[in-house]
Amino acid sequence: MKYRKSFIATSVAMALGVGSVLATGASLAGEFDGVTLKVGTWGGSWKENIVNVIVPKFEAEGGTIEFVTGSPQANLAKLIAGRGKAPFDIMEILDAQIQDFRSAEFLQPLSLDAIPNKAHLEDWQVSDDTIGSWFTQETICYNKDKFAELGIEPPKTYSDLANPKLEGRLSIPDITSGGGLANFGAFAHAGGGDEANIQPGLDLVKSMNALKFWSRGGEVVTQFQSGDVYAAVVHAGWCVRAKNAGSNVTTVHPYINDQHTGVHKHGWLGIMKSSENAAAANWFINEYLDAGFQFEFATKSGVVPVNKEAIGRLSEDPVLDEMLQTSSEEISQQLRIDYSKADIADWTDQWNRSVAQ
């Protein structure tokens, strides 16, 4: 009898112990156990920033993040080829592409309640299907030593780059590059035109006698290092990287007209309609908008945060403080291209016929 009571007691204790272990295991289960989230983004250091900060947090929730690397233009082409069946759940989108995504109905609505960090953005950066994620400040990056050696004053406008002493030593973005549309739109405005009147921009570009038209910003960093170029039209982040690589460069935010000094373009995040991982994608967006990630991303890449708390910290980094415009007043005066007034196909056609010869 004593043996039977002892056996029962032991069995109950073991059962309770197993139940406790199972309960503990359940409580440790991650929110995204078994989920593979596929993110369409750039490769290189851009992807590495996400890998270093966001990926470990997602893995701690039991999930895996895979990347489909390429420019937003290349990833949009994949979407079109797949007739909306995306090889990724979430994608980096350029401001010039928003209308294309909406007209093709490639996006699903965001779960804004699952993105509390949206509170740190401007109202216009939050919509039902896309949310702002970063912006770049498009600048003139120039080599201070070479300009001093040649007796050239620091540039203030794009027209200053037409100096004969810079012939063949200037690099500007091809219209098909990530910075191409924003900068070409800025050239048009600076020349006295606008989104609907781009001929002044074409004339301005031809007057510059550029060495080449870059398609990837990393090319500019290499060109500064090799001494092939003395100036480039490129976003401040690439100038930051050129400086960090040893080139004595800095930025100028070009005077456009009496209303605008400097230029910026915006990046957005959107969840593909074909994605079945919406919860994980909304989680990713919230982490991308976190002030800590946004600030670290800025210091590593020179890309400007959309999170206001992170923007407020930019002056903590001396290189960013030098090369970026960080006050709300300065940022508000930068030109932002209105793509609803632009015929991108016509822009590209005229560029190819007039410039890329």
DSSP string, 265-310: EEEEEEEBTT-S-HHHHHHHHHHHT-HHHHHHHHHHH-PBPSSHHH
The rounded Cα 281 to chain-centroid distance in angstroms is 17
CA 210 – CA 226 distance, rounded (Å): 16
Name the average pLDDT for the chain: 90
pLDDT digits (tens, 9 = 90+) for 122-163: 999 999 999 999 999 999 999 999 999 999 999 999 999 999
Mean pLDDT by 10 residues, the chain (357 residues): 42 43 48 97 91 97 96 90 93 94 96 98 96 97 98 97 94 91 97 97 91 88 96 96 95 98 96 97 98 94 93 92 91 94 95 83
CA 36 – CA 43 distance, rounded (Å): 18
What is the pLDDT, as a whole number, of residue 11? 43
What pTM value is reported for the model? 0.84
| Nearest partner of 299 among 327, 318, 326, 325, judged by Cα | 318
The rounded Cα 289 to chain-centroid distance in angstroms is 12
The structure tokens listed for 295 are: 């600030």
pLDDT digits (tens, 9 = 90+) for 156-167: 999 999 999 999
Q: Which domains does the chain have, with CATH numbers?
A: 36-135+266-326 (3.40.190.10), 136-263+337-355 (3.40.190.10)
* Three-state DSSP class for residue 195: coil
